[in-house]
Amino acid sequence: MVKPNSELRPRLRKIAQSLLEKTRAGQANWVPAAGADLQYELKLPESRIILAYLSPRVEPDYLSLRLHTLSGVAVGALEADEPEPGEPLNPPDDWATERTEQEVDWKALQPLFVEVHRSVTGWDKVMKDVETALAQPGAIGVSTSREALPTRP
């Protein structure tokens, strides 16, 4: 996991917040990143942003917001591990600062990822459609007759 230097971290958090606002307003054109699940890309004139939810087998899941040049060189990243359920609220002093930074970064990235995922996949519209159909009396679903289906030669 790439850790941002102390100068970049506040700027990257602000970028995450601004991206969340733009995405909620429908003013950010996120697209699925090529060949990757749960990764989204926002292309800008001189750069691109990649937002990803990653789930390694032996490490905690984490979110990553990476800024790249158009040629693909990474210039900054904000990454945070998903908090573990049941973690102590008062960690030992030697890792309290790192954990606090991780929590702040997670709180910046998690709502952004949820909103971008909703925006790109349209899961909210699908859920509304299904819930509306289920709330109606009677049969649901579009009926197709066997005659309308293509047949094999």
pLDDT of residue 103: 85
Residue 149 lies in a domain: no
**What whole-number distance in Å separates Cα of residue 9 and Cα of residue 30?**
22
Q: Is residue 144 part of a domain?
A: no
**What are the structure tokens assigned to 110, written together?**
């998690």
In a domain, 146, yes or no: no
The enclosing H or E element of 51 equals strand 47-54
Q: Which domain holds residue 66?
A: 8-136
Does 91 fall in a domain? yes
Strand partners, 131: none
Domain assignment present for 116: yes
Q: Which residue has the tokens 């990553």?
A: 64
Question: Within a domain: residue 55?
Answer: yes
Sheet holding 31-32, edge to edge: 31-32, 39-43, 47-54, 62-69, 74-81
2 assigned to some structural domain? no
List the chain pLDDT tens, one digit each, 153 residues: 444 556 888 999 999 999 999 999 999 999 999 888 899 999 999 999 999 998 888 888 899 999 999 999 999 999 998 887 665 545 555 444 556 888 889 899 999 999 999 999 999 999 999 999 999 999 998 877 655 555 555
Per the listing, tokens 């699940």 go with 37
Please report whether residue 82 resides in a domain.
yes
Number of domains observed in the structure of the chain: 1
Q: Which residue has the tokens 């958090």?
A: 13
Q: What is the pTM of this model?
A: 0.75
